[in-house]
Structure 1
């Protein structure tokens, strides 16, 4: 195995870090949080133990660093769904269907799994909370872009917040129950509920 020098060149250092992140994300998606150990990531990446510890001194630091890459992949899933879902003229329906498609992608489910694992791991919880603060702006940008056509509505912020929570819940349910017909029914009901909220005068 090729050993990474103690003082690698900047470009090589970035490449090694990205290789480690790619390995960690692949492991998270394929094996889950419990089996994404530092040894597994080191094996997949081909990096030395010293290189791994240089970039990610702890297991929690390694896992939290994957969030940026997971968010990037989720953004790619949104763009892919946007290019495919051109038959829905209603802004809300199109946005919810695009976000629903994204929420069932492995990268989104892996991010939710990290949240679940953090419940009983204080170090991981602290690391993920910090990483999620940085990722929130990107997530907000994506949702705001999809719902831009109704952003002036007084109930917009409520609709946006509830939609995000709905999609997370639906994604978690899909892990144990794979029922496309039921999922489609829920999505259709949420589209109806969202359009109803947007057509209703705002309340204090």
Structure 2
């Protein structure tokens, strides 16, 4: 009588494709961690290679240059930023006013380390043309995901004629506020500015509804 082979305790071997994907993910996670903890200056290819425990050849296969490595973090940062938006949106859902909820959710999400890290990359790229070019390509690839998040967040206002302008200006406002808060940690001032922007955004919508201001 033949015996059934005993099940092997050894874990199944990964395919080459799975191995490459796992290595890529490990390198990227380490790079994002260093970027958030130390800033862009603290992300070196040697440090990433050592922390991910891969060979130099493996690192260069996935990310030929430091610029490619840094720009690749954008997708992961945007994913984390999206998660932060929905967490904050759930917290502000009691506001009652969709415009206030959307803007306050953006502001709160922008205070996370992943959002600040993404902005830091753009600041560093000012004097690094190679990084700037790769970042632009990475941001362009992530544009659809970002637009989807904004459209969902501001969904109650999409029918308004001033919708696009309010969304675009809100993004610029948030970016400026983040940079300002790095220098001045004044929560009361930030709250006042956010409230003022909500009022201004509401005025933009009202004027877009009636550009003549009620005049015949």
| TM-score using structure 2 length | 0.88
SS for the counterpart of 2:94 is coil
| TM-score using structure 1 length | 0.93
Is 1:127 paired with 2:138? no
Give the structure, 1 or 2, with the largest relative contact order (CA under 8 Å, sep 6 or more): 1
Residue 24 (structure 1) aligns with: 31
Residue 181 (structure 2) aligns with: 174
1:57 aligned to which of 64, 70, 75 = 64
SS for the counterpart of 1:199 is helix
1:46 CA displacement:
1.6
1:163 aligned to which of 170, 176, 191 = 170
For structure 1, the residue ranges without an aligned partner over 5 or more in a row are 1-7
How do 1:53-202 residues align onto structure 2 when only pairs under 5 Å count? 53-201=60-208
| Whole-angstrom CA distance in 1 between matches of 2:184 and 2:88 | 23
2:49 aligned to which of 42, 46, 49 = 42
Residue 8 (structure 2) aligns with: none
| Whole-angstrom CA distance in 1 between matches of 2:147 and 2:103 | 14
**Cα RMSD (Å):** 1.4
1:201 CA displacement:
3.2
For structure 2, the residue ranges without an aligned partner over 5 or more in a row are 1-14
SS for the counterpart of 2:188 is helix
SS for the counterpart of 2:208 is coil
- CA offsets per residue over residues 137-174 of structure 1, 9 Å max, x none? 11111111111111111111111110010001111111
Is 1:12 paired with 2:19? yes
| Whole-angstrom CA distance in 1 between matches of 2:143 and 2:180 | 23
